[in-house]
Amino acid sequence: MIESSSNRKFSRIDALCEVALTHPSTGATSTAHSINLSATDVLFKTKNKLSQGISLEISVKPINSATPPLNALIEIVRVTLVDDGEYEVAATIEGIKGT
């Protein structure tokens, strides 16, 4: 479902799929599950506590193999502990990476 808000430049779309996270300077990796994304933002859940302001490399892997993964550099803007013990993470997409 597409969300609409007068405060957003781009609509968000549901994107329920696996996300690989990599810290660019240390190479540390983890996984997450995306909730939604837009042309400039991504929202996902992870079991790992992340910090606001850090940059990560992500690869959003669509369920449909005909759709290529989204490889991008993101910056974390909000981290919220949710009821199920996971963290909901909002991030801005700072750049798109090649495959």
Q: pLDDT 10s digit of each residue in the chain, 99 long? A: 444 445 667 788 888 899 999 999 999 999 999 999 998 999 999 999 999 999 999 999 988 888 888 999 999 999 999 988 899 999 999 999 876
**Please, are residues 94 and 56 in contact by the beta-carbon 8 Å criterion?**
no
pLDDT of residue 3: 45
Q: What residues contact 9, with CB distance under 8 A and at least 6 apart?
A: 39, 40
Q: Which of 42, 39, 44 has the alpha carbon at shortest distance from 10?
A: 39
pLDDT of residue 2: 43
pLDDT of residue 99: 61
Q: Note the pTM of the prediction, 2 decimals.
A: 0.85
Give the DSSP per-residue string, 3-14: B--TT-SS-BEE
Please give the CATH topology (third level) of the domain spanning 13-96: Thrombin, subunit H (2.40.10)
Q: What residues contact 43, with CB distance under 8 A and at least 6 apart?
A: 12, 34, 35, 36, 37, 88, 89, 90, 91
The pairing of strands 29-37 and 13-14 is: antiparallel
